[in-house]
Amino acid sequence: MYIKRHIEDALTQAAREKGALCVTGARQVGKSTVLRTLFTGHRDLTLDESRLLRLAREEPEAFFQQFPPPVFVDEIQRAPSLFPYVKIHVDKTGEKGAFILSGSQRYEMMEGVTESLAGRVNLIDLYGLSTREIRGETFREPFMPTAAYYSGRNPKPLTYNEVWENIWRGFYPEIVESGTDWSRFYSSYMRTYLDRDVSKLAQVGDLLRFEKFMTSAAARTGQLLNIADVAKDTGISRQTAERWLSVLVASNIVYLLKPYHNNVLQRLIKTPKIYLLDTGLASYLLGWDNPRVLQNGAMSGAMFETFVIGEILKSWANANGVTPNMNFFFFRDKDGNEIDLLIKRNGKLHPVEIKKHIACDKGDIAAYKRLDKIPDMRRGEGCVVCMAEDVFPITATDKAVGVRSL
């Protein structure tokens, strides 16, 4: 069963704009499936096949002579020697969408892309399934806490138990579409990720310790990143921890949310917050073997926040194919005032607080007034994302928003 992806329009448009389209993302988020579905006229090749991989590495020029474009090459990061020949063809012909490329290890791939294909490729990140996609909704606007957004949103009902089932299960297509056993899927996923991606990187030598590092990172999802503490828990140096974190970020396993900073406001925290992009993987790493244990545990608030940040991120990335790193921030000052998410748009900062409870009030948005002290920036409409069933007002400009309306 194929679940229609909301990013499809962005992918087809991106392919029309430049000679190459390169889609990256974590393992098993559905890159190959969606690209094969969209680009049926392209020859389908995967460098997981040893014969093709050998040819690509040893005779890259002959590779594209034998398999001329239009062509889809999966796991392109395994043969970076192909990139110069993609460049040659694009420069010679000017053909749009001739090369569709995908890879699960952006850490390895980006050097080849930036050196050989600068200006010739559209690079798009694909994330796991969104709740909208899983429920078959057609609404594709990026989430904004505004009246205009709410007026166009007519979401399906979503129960409390369904929310926690989704958070615990995770959002990889295979586990959603086929009902694969949860523990077996994530055990296989970790083994494949460590053996096929992480083991190839020179800066990672101890895979068991790297898995412990991932678990330590998962235990801090939704929190300020303290890389020194993660290093201490794992038994590695801070420098090694920073390198390993960069691997997780490049693999789209981890997302770092930047703090909002302004030179006029000197008391702002400058440390990012860390989120695991798939809550099912986080649940597996932390040993929660059913959704009830998760929702009643000490980390339920952090996991709910992680889920909400992920859903909002997907809504933006799926709408136009661009990860909104320049639009998303969090706010925290040294007095402890915090706002979980700031969405920057059209000269306004829209505050979003995230609470796992049902009832919300003005106490949940007390920190919003801190934004009024930021010069040359206006505060826009805000909200509290929570377990409410619908959207209802807290103030004239701020609303409580049920998670189903994301």
Burial 64-78 (b: 16+ CB within 10 A, else e): beeeebebbbbbbbb
Region 91-95: mean pLDDT is 93
CB 52 within 8 A of CB 23: no
Task: Report the chain's C-alpha Rg in angstroms.
Answer: 22
- When pLDDT is cut at 50, 70 and 90, the band that residue 267 belongs to is low
Percent above pLDDT 70 for the chain:
96
Q: Which residues pair with 22 in a beta bridge?
A: 101, 123
pLDDT at 65 over 90: yes
pLDDT at 220 over 70: yes
Residue 23 Cα to chain centre, angstroms: 13
Burial class from Cβ neighbours inside 10 Å (0-12, 13-18, 19+) for residue 131 reads: buried
Region 303-307: mean pLDDT is 98
Region 49-76: mean pLDDT is 94
pLDDT at 229 over 60: yes
Per-residue pLDDT at 277 = 96
- When pLDDT is cut at 50, 70 and 90, the band that residue 375 belongs to is confident
Region 102-114: mean pLDDT is 72
- To which residue do tokens 């138990």 refer? 161
Per-residue pLDDT at 44 = 96
Q: Which residues pair with 221 in a beta bridge?
A: none
| Mean pLDDT, the chain, whole residue set | 91
- When pLDDT is cut at 50, 70 and 90, the band that residue 108 belongs to is low
Per-residue pLDDT at 334 = 81
CB 126 within 8 A of CB 7: yes
The pairing of strands 398-402 and 391-393 is: antiparallel
Q: How far is CA 178 from CA 2, 173, 174, 228, 289, in A?
A: 10, 8, 6, 40, 19
Region 8-26: mean pLDDT is 95
Per-residue pLDDT at 178 = 81
- When pLDDT is cut at 50, 70 and 90, the band that residue 270 belongs to is confident
pLDDT at 327 over 60: yes
Per-residue pLDDT at 205 = 72
Give me the domains of the chain, ranges plus CATH numbers. Answer: 8-125 (3.40.50.300), 132-405 (no CATH)
Percent above pLDDT 90 for the chain:
75
Give the up-direction half-sphere exposure of residue 115: CA atoms within 13 A in the CB hemisphere: 11
Region 375-392: mean pLDDT is 90
* CA pair distance 253, 283, nearest whole angstrom: 13
CB 223 within 8 A of CB 274: yes
Q: Which residue, among 187, 182, 171, has the nearest Cα to 128 in the 3D structure? A: 171
The beta-strand segments (E) located in 60-209 are: 71-74, 99-103, 121-125
Residue 186 Cα to chain centre, angstroms: 18
Burial 326-340 (b: 16+ CB within 10 A, else e): eebbbbbbeeebebb
pLDDT at 392 over 70: yes
pLDDT at 202 over 60: no
For 19-35, give the secondary structure using H, E and C. CEEEEECCCCCCHHHHH
pLDDT at 106 over 70: no
Region 328-356: mean pLDDT is 92
